[in-house]
Structure 1
Amino acid sequence: MMDRLAVDDLVTEYAVAVGDGDWTAYEGLFTADGRADYRAAGGIEGDAGQVAGWLAESTAPFAVRQHLIVNRRVRFGLLDHDTGDTARVRADYLTPTRLTDAGAPAAPDLMCGGRYDFALLRTPQGWRLREAVAHEKWRRPPAAEVPVP
């Protein structure tokens, strides 16, 4: 049960780091060889540092963003030759954002959703991400502003 809680906390920390744009914290959630793959969402695949840099650049226009990760399914010991120190998490995500232009009113929302596949490893520092793969399923682009009467 303690491992289940620790894994859940790690996924929550991932969501908070992405939502808050805390790329140092994001990198710290991964193993030294950890990788992330956002290609299905129009992004890149690479080590945690490379992906953190891409995320920082691609999310910079969004003054407000949330990264919600829900419906977490946790499975322990599914990797080859496991000794009880690995886990897999499949979870859905929803990312509402708000665009802004300097000095202009806020633009309409951009939203997307999909599913993550996480591979985790127990390390001396606790559970860390070995892999995070985003599978975007849908995206709602900004609609034209509707004037308020």
Structure 2
Amino acid sequence: MTQRVDLATVMDRLAIDDLVTRYAVAVDDADWDGYRALFTPDGRVDYRDSGGIEAPAAAGADWLAKAMGTFPVRQHLIVNRRLRLQDLGGYPGDGADVQADYLAVLRTDTGEELSSGGRYAIAAVRTDDGWRLNGVVSREKWRRAAGALPG
């Protein structure tokens, strides 16, 4: 592998890491237009494991906006990222898979709190506009509620 390929691989890894971070920030900040812009036109999400939907990313944004509306305080951390770039015989391809753990803490105006943790399976693809999400699957491993939460 040449230094040029090594540098391209590092740049791809940084761009994908930034993409995953922008996903978390968009959810926390209720930036649903920004959330939608992170995905390819055919991008999909699967939040069924935590009581959500499996749908195109735009519909996922609509569902999240409604579900998160109860929780004006949100912090969503995505950690332990394991990234695998597509390998084309020693050269990076245009696809990547990320496995990453998450911790989400949500709080209502009255102080009730919902915490959960799990793992994301994320598919990213290189597009003319840079790296974009093509699929996000959330697998919740645990959930804890403190106080009476809205139904």
Structure 1 residue runs without a partner (length 5+)? 101-105, 145-149
User: Pick from 23, 27, 45: which aligns with 1:36?
Assistant: 45
- 1:97 Cα deviation after fit: 1.0
Q: Which residue of 1 aligns with 2:145?
A: 141
- 1:96 Cα deviation after fit: 0.5
Separation in 1 of the partners of 2:32 and 2:121? 20
User: Pick from 79, 82, 86: which aligns with 2:95?
Assistant: 86
Q: 4+ residue runs of structure 1 moved beyond 3 angstroms?
A: none
Separation in 1 of the partners of 2:51 and 2:82? 25
Aligned residues: 137
Separation in 1 of the partners of 2:137 and 2:18? 18
CA RMSD of aligned residues (A): 1.7
Q: Which residue of 2 aligns with 1:128?
A: 132
Report the 3-state secondary structure (helix = DSSP H, G, I; strand = E; otherwise coil) of the residue aligned with 2:18.
helix
Q: Does 1:96 align with 2:105?
A: yes
Report the 3-state secondary structure (helix = DSSP H, G, I; strand = E; otherwise coil) of the residue aligned with 1:137.
strand
Q: Does 1:117 align with 2:126?
A: no
Separation in 1 of the partners of 2:43 and 2:137? 11
Separation in 1 of the partners of 2:134 and 2:97? 10
Deviations 1:73-100 (A, max 9, x none): 000117xxxx700000000000011112
Deviations 1:23-80 (A, max 9, x none): 10000000000000000011001001100000000000101001110000000117xx
Report the 3-state secondary structure (helix = DSSP H, G, I; strand = E; otherwise coil) of the residue aligned with 1:52.
helix
Structure 2 residue runs without a partner (length 5+)? 1-9
Question: What amino acid sits opposite 2:25 in the alignment?
Answer: V
Question: What amino acid sits opposite 1:127 in the alignment?
Answer: W
Q: Which residue of 1 aligns with 2:28?
A: 19
After TM superposition, list the pairs within 5 Å mapping 1:50-69 onto structure 2: 50-69=59-78
- 1:141 Cα deviation after fit: 1.2
Separation in 2 of the partners of 1:74 and 1:125? 20
Separation in 2 of the partners of 1:125 and 1:12? 17
Question: What amino acid sits opposite 1:34 in the alignment?
Answer: G
Question: What amino acid sits opposite 1:125 in the alignment?
Answer: D
Percent identical: 57
Separation in 1 of the partners of 2:16 and 2:58? 21
